[in-house]
Amino acid sequence: MCTMILLLVLAVIGMIKAQMNMEVGEPCEVRGHKGICTEGSRCVDLPNKMSHLGLRPSDVERCGFTAYEEIICCPSSPTIIASTTRTRSDDRPAVRACAEIDANLQPLLTPHILGGTPVELGEYPYMVAIGLDNAGTIEYNCGGTLIAKSFVLTAAHCLTTRQRPVMVRMGVVNFTDTEQMKNAVEIGVKRTHLHPDYTSASVYNDIAVVELQSDVEYSANVYPTCLYTEPENPSKSSELYVSGWGVIDTRTRDKSNVLLKARQEIVDNSRCNESYAENGFSRRNRIGIISTQLCAHDPTLTRDACQGDSGGPLIVVVDEALSKFRIVAVISVGFSCGTSTPGIYTRVSSFLDFIESVVWPNL
């Protein structure tokens, strides 16, 4: 059976017609169906995809060549797209917007560094660095998440410092990589939308939306992700990650030039409250951790969000192969970095009305 499938794949590749000189990872089309340029050997389950889409071997086009094999336009799985585009007229705007985002996701071809910390280019295409004006110099001191063509979700406290937010940077994970920086997307800030009940005197309602001066052009490295709309926490078996360019050395306060990720686990609010009470952290959190917040940490106490990561997302993995995630929470505040005291996050599902009123007021 395996031999027959291999022969069919080889026959398909042998009949592929040349399309153009394109590279691995570039989007392409196969008779109107979305695809992505992939080495022939890595186009998973090609015969079944063709059967589902009603394609003939001669329909699948060639993108180009690597040093060892052909690059073909590998069609995206039709079953995934079909299952993510069903919405009802009474679905809330965030849910309908998410269906559109999911319908256009492309598979990530570069391998993830599982168990490590660096993020691959294109792995988290929603990730945004927010630049603040410090006496004429732009310093990228906060993170954010692209959720629509001209809107970035972040923490309110990132936008209320003496340094004014002026720029966002996307489409790059390594700020010292000259090739990546040539293709970095930088767009000015048009205005900021803070939650109306936020005050810097407390850590509650710590959520905001940055509106950009122009729409983002979506690509493999710049693409929004969805909001997590369920009021309950993701299941305990879920994979949760936090990411950012924040402090990596608490002694020197040096920040990372490379986007880093860390696996996290949600900590029950009652246990989190106990931890903060033991450390005397109550001045800005006077009524404790409430339902609009959640806590998370790395049980090994080695990987954590830190200064400079604020505003970035805590995401739950839905489908890693398709880069499908949901933003569960926004990094808000912590007692320290990588300690037994969990970090505090703003729960996204508690603020859907606010987010939708800014981002999708007419949807």
Which residues are annotated as catalytic? 157, 206, 310
Nearest to 73 by CA among 109, 30, 105: 30
- CA 14, distance to chain mean position in Å, is 37
Give kind and range of the element (H or E) at residue 344.
Answer: strand 343-347
Nearest Cα to 121, choosing from 181, 173, 169? 173
What is the C-alpha separation between 272 and 180, in angstroms, rounded?
A: 39
Residue 37's contacts (CB-CB under 8 Å, 6 or more residues apart) are 22, 23, 24, 25, 26, 27, 28, 63, 64, 71, 72, 73, 74
Residue with tokens 């992939």: 38
Query: Sign of torsion, CA 227 233 235 236?
Result: positive
Write the DSSP string, 87-154: --TTS-HHHHHHHHHHHT-----SPP-TTS-BPPTTTSTTEEEEEEEETTEEEEEEEEEEEETTEEEE
Q: Give the β-pairing of 151-154 and 313-319.
A: unpaired
Question: Could you give phi then psi for residue 28, rounded to 5 degrees?
Answer: -150, 180
Measured in whole angstroms, the distance separating CA 98 from the mean position of its chain's CA atoms is 13
The whole-angstrom distance between residue 312's C-alpha and the CA centroid of its chain comes to 9
CB 169 within 8 A of CB 163: no
CA dist list (Å): 332 to 23, 283, 335, 342: 39, 15, 11, 11
> 352, exposed or middle or buried, with CB in 10 Å at 0-12, 13-18, 19+?
middle
Q: Which two tokens stand for residue 296?
A: 């998370």
